[in-house]
Structure 1
Amino acid sequence: MSAYNAETTGGAGEVVQQYLRGSAHRLEAAILERLTAELPVYRKLPTEQLSGDVARMIRRGLDDFARVMESGSMPGPEQLALLTGSATRRAEEGLPAEAIVSAYFLGARTCADDFAAAARPEDLPALTAMYSLLVAYLQHVTTAVTAGYVHQMQTTVGERHSARQLLLTALREGRVDEEAAKEAGLTLPAGYLVLALVTGPHADEHAPGVDTNAAAQRKLRRLHTELALHTRGTALTSLTTTGGLVLLPSETDPAELTPAHWDGTTQLLTRLQRAAGATVLAAAVPARPGDVAQVWPVATELARIAAASARPPGLYRLEDLALEYQLSRPGPAHAHVAGLLDPLDAHADLLLTLTAFLRHDLDRRATAQALNVHPNTVLYRLRKITALTGLDATRPTDLPTLHAALTCHTLGN
């Protein structure tokens, strides 16, 4: 609690708080405009983030300082905890600490300058009170924001060497380490569903003027959050912004998994894709803890094959990709199947169209939209592909061969 109080600010504080509340919408817009104009890192943030989290924190800051002027008291623990939480999220997204702190000072300066410009001679006591309380308010805010940011950075660094990461490393190396599981606060389950993820980019990662790293990290944070919310037990993860490895714990032995288990995993993948705002493709292989070391390379290879064969986003098992997996192994069959698409090497647009058509689940309009061409152009190119290769992407009996050929051709190149 500050030494200031309502008696010391008196009516002067009331004048300022009424002005702030009456001008809140205009000040919010002015602060947001100055943030993007004067702090380059904010200019590169996705529009969604600026109009969402950042705008909310501006409104909260205006309301908090209006309360300070009204009561003469500094923000309490609950209000400061909200600021700490916001700084934690910004740290997760990779925003520099100096930009976050500067944003609060810039907002305070905008409010102070705006009130000073409108003040009359009789408002001098209010102006004096405002500047006095503003300095104290910024001290509290800066402390809370810095604490949140530093804590998150320490947590991020610590996670790299956390007990769960050590457990994941042990499993990937073929060691069933009960002690490592205990240190992580976990009990080894009967089995794991080993997921190899391939994550596509969020739209913001390609938006002009947007900080692509911030957008990608935001996507990754959403994936971690969704896994934590919808996984029974604790998933062990090694993820980057383009995918990685996830071990989903299961109390059911891998040999006894039922269709319901796979349906649940498919639903989880749908949630991950919705949360990420990006395509998510996953290959899944069940394994007992002691078999993870043999299984995770298979899952990784299956995910690579699914992506190479232009499979749509979704969940894939070995039985879904058995043909492509087998043909992707070195040998005469691999060379023969890969050669089926050799006639397209001189026609980059045809190979691109075939890949997009398969990836969009044979949807001609979706393919045309992805390629930015007319649907009739897609149809023309598909017919030309058939003429050159003898394989028809619209004929169900040719689809397994096309997927296998595209896999071998892509991996071979």
Structure 2
Amino acid sequence: MSAYNVGTLGDSGESVQQYLLRSVYRLQAAVLERLTAELPVYRKLPTEQLNGDVARMVRRGITDFAGVLASGSMPGAEQLAQLTSSATRRAEEGLPAEAIVCAYFLGARLCLDDVTAAARPEDLPAVTATYSLLLGYLQHVTTAVTAGYLQQLSTTVGERHSARQLLLTALREGRVDEGAAREAGLTLPPGYLVLALAIGAHADEHAPGVDTNAAAQRKLRRLRTELALHSRGAALSSLTTAGGLVLLPSDTSPCELGPTHWEDTAQLLTRLQRACGATVLAAAVPAVPGDVARACPIATELVHIATTSARPPGLYRLEDLALEYQLSRPGPARAHVARLLDPLDAHADLLLTLTAFLRHDLDRRATARALNVHPNTVLYRLRKIAGLTGLDASRPTDLPTIHAALTCRTVQDLPDPSSG
């Protein structure tokens, strides 16, 4: 008996590896039966695949472990490469990674239970040695399988991401490309809701000693995850940690969007904020696929207007910002409205307070917390602003004018977006 031989079990004098090799086809059938009984995903596989590739891998696993028992050496590079290749194919076929790994452990448990059924008390050393080698074998196997699966998954995700970015580019250029949609694994919907997002900073991005970039990327990842869950992976996006564009597919054409749809989208914004732990302001423009190219710059301009006019986080449509949008165009009206807040130029604290008050939805206490001042200080400054400008931010009738003035002050030096 070699130094690695785990010995024999029972009265037959047959070694464990001999038993496994002699019983390989019976054990293969038992493992396949157990797989289909306990793991639903295997019941859905085509019979050809189950009795072909899957059966071969079960048989190979049994014979490979028999080799481990005989030599005490774990599978070599060539054997592990075969496992990696098999896992790559399973990933291509869409079999979940957990189902593949679970199958190895389930098969190992069944085979070992079968082997040790005839064990006697004096066979304990042999059983212990077998278990030890089996754990080492499973460690090597699952490592190889996971590596193959993740490699293929990375390739697939990369290809899918590239295809979706090509589709997004086509739509933003005014091209309705059904072929690009198929390459991306999507079907063009009747319409899109073009969302331009402005994403605020997470608290961790300002925390001392915290990696700012890591915190920002984590925020963005959580937002993307929530967006993917909402759209079942069908949304197209070009996002940074500060914001960007999202094409949210709609089952109805733009002209058929009703209050329920807008309410659902507003609730999505709330979930996005909760998921990423930061404020999210969005401007929305509905469009058919062929009109996305026109809608994108409008949505981008609207989110800029909403931000510069100190709107609180939430969802905004063109009708919500119609006054500011129109006044953002060059002309005497824009210049006049921009000058309404000129008296505040010499009082930076007043302009800062006004902007914070509007962004916190006219909440004096929230504004005070944001500015790290007493609420009475906020009240004092608002009264001073009213005295200097004649515009009272606590008076609803003055709010549209104040929002418009903030917008005009920001955009008056920018080029006319309607010009060539």
- TM more than 0.5: yes
Q: 1: distance between equivalents of 2:393 and 2:302?
A: 22
TM-score relative to the length of structure 2 = 0.63
* 1:250 partner amino acid: S
Within 5 A, what are the aligned runs for 1:179-218? 179-218=179-218
In 2, distance between residues paired with 1:376 and 1:233? 48
SS at match of 1:262: helix
Measure how far apart 1:330 and its partner are: 1.1
Measured in 2, the distance between the counterparts of 1:152 and 1:386 equals 60
* Identity score, percent: 77
Could you tell me how far 1:412 is from its partner in structure 2?
3.4
The one-letter code sitting in structure 2 at the alignment partner of 1:263 is E
Tell me the distance in 2 between the aligned counterparts of 1:316 and 1:4. 72
Determine if the alignment matches structure 1 residue 360 to structure 2 residue 374. Answer: no
Tell me by how many angstroms 1:411 deviates.
2.8
Match in the other structure for 1:302: 302
* Whole-angstrom distance in 1 between the partners of 2:256 and 2:284: 15
Contact preservation (8 Å) 2:269, 2:280:
yes
- CA–CA distance in structure 2, aligned partners of residues 199 and 249 of structure 1: 21
Cα separation, 2, equivalents of 1:178 and 1:359: 42
Partner of 1:117: none
For 1:336 and 1:361, the matched residues in 2 are separated by 26
User: 1:240-275 CA distances to partner (integer Å, 9 max, x unpaired)?
Assistant: 111111111112110011101101101111110000
Cα separation, 1, equivalents of 2:411 and 2:370: 23
Q: How does 1:100-249 map to 2 (within 5 A)?
A: 158=159, 162-231=162-231, 234-249=234-249
The letter for the 1-side match of 2:403 is H
Q: In 1, Cα distance between the equivalents of 2:4 and 2:404?
A: 74
CA distance in structure 2 between the partners assigned to 1:247 and 1:291 by the alignment: 12
Aligned equivalent of 2:373 = 373
Using the TM superposition, give the Cα deviation of residue 234 of structure 1 relative to its aligned residue in structure 2, in angstroms.
Answer: 0.6
Rounded Cα–Cα distance in structure 1 between residues aligned with 2:5 and 2:277 = 48
Deviations 1:112-135 (A, max 9, x none): xxxxxxxxxxxxxxxxxxxxxxx9
Residue equivalent to 1:274: 274
**How has the CA–CA distance of structure 1 residues 250 and 136 changed in structure 2, closer, same or farther, with 3 Å as cutoff?**
same
Distance 1:279 1:5, change over 3 A: farther
Cα deviations by residue, 1:351-382 (Å, 9 ceiling, x for unpaired):
00000000001000000000000001101111
Cα offset for 1:296? 0.7
DSSP-derived class of the 2:248 partner: strand
| Greater Cα radius of gyration, structure 1 or 2 | 2
Matched residue SS, 1:341: helix
Does the CA-based 8 Å contact 2:222-2:275 persist in structure 1? yes
Change (3 A) 1:139 1:380: farther
- SS class of match (2:246): strand
The superposition leaves residues 14-72 of structure 1 with CA deviations (integer Å, 9 ceiling, x where unpaired) of xxxxxxxxxxxxxxxxxxxxxxxxxxxxxxxxxxxxxxxxxxxxxxxxxxxxxxxxxx9
Q: Secondary structure at the match of 1:306?
A: helix
Number of equivalences: 288
Contact 2:191 2:252 in 1 (8 A): yes
What displacement does 1:387 show?
1.0
Aligned match of 2:67: none
**Residue 344 of structure 1 aligns with which residue?**
344
**Retained in 1: the 8 A contact 2:189–2:289?**
yes
* Cα distance change, pair 152–384 in 1 and its aligned pair in 2 (3 A): farther
> Per the alignment, in what secondary structure is the counterpart of residue 201 of structure 1?
coil
1:16-27 counterparts in 2 under 5 A? none
CA distance in 2 between partners of 1:138 and 1:211 (Å): 34
Aligned-pair distance for 1:212? 0.7
Work out the CA distance in 1 between the residues paired with 2:236 and 2:225.
Answer: 13
What 5-or-longer segments of structure 1 have no aligned partner?
8-71, 75-134
Match of 1:319 in 2: 319
Structure 2: any 5+ residue segments left out of the alignment? 8-71, 75-135, 414-420
How far does residue 410 in structure 1 lie from its aligned partner after superposition? 2.5
Q: How does 1:52-67 map to 2 (within 5 A)?
A: none
RMSD across aligned positions (CA): 3.0
CA shift in 2, pair 1:174/1:139, >3 Å: same
Distance 1:328 1:355 in 2: 18
Amino acid in the other structure paired with 1:247? L
In structure 2, what is the equivalent of residue 251 of structure 1? 251
Is 1:330 aligned to 2:330, yes or no?
yes
| Cα pair 2:160 2:184 within 8 Å, conserved | no
Taking the aligned partners of 1:362 and 1:348, their CA distance within structure 2 comes to 19
SS in 2 for 1:234: coil
Three-state SS of the structure 2 residue aligned to 1:312 is coil
Deviation at residue 312 of structure 1 after TM alignment: 0.4
In structure 1, distance between residues paired with 2:6 and 2:209 = 46
Secondary structure at the residue paired with 2:263?
A: helix
Quick check: 1:219–1:277 contact (8 Å CA) kept in 2? yes
Q: Is the 8 A contact 1:302 1:321 kept in 2?
A: yes
Q: Give the Å deviation of 1:216.
A: 0.7
Equivalent residues of 1:312, 1:359 under 8 A apart: yes
In structure 2, the CA distance between the partners of 1:141 and 1:370, relative to structure 1 (3 Å rule), is farther
Moved over 3 A (4+): 3-7, 135-160
Which deviations, in whole Å up to 9, do the C-alpha atoms of 1:320-346 show, x marking residues without a partner? 000000001111111111111111111
Matched to 1:244, the amino acid is G
The one-letter amino acid of 1:184's match is A
CA distance in 2, matches of 1:210, 1:370: 21
Show the counterpart of 2:107: none
Cα distance in 2, alignment partners of residues 259 and 6 from structure 1 = 72
Query: Residue 330 of structure 2 contacts residue 412 of structure 2 at CA under 8 Å; is this kept in 1?
Result: no
Equivalent in the alignment of 1:389? 389
For the residue of structure 2 that corresponds to 1:194, the secondary structure is strand
2-structure distance, mates of 1:182, 1:149: 24
Match of 2:408 in 1: 408
Amino acid at match of 2:341: L
Structure 1 contact 233–249 (Cα < 8 Å) conserved: no
**Which structure exhibits the higher relative contact order, with contacts defined as CA atoms closer than 8 Å and separated by 6 or more residues?**
1
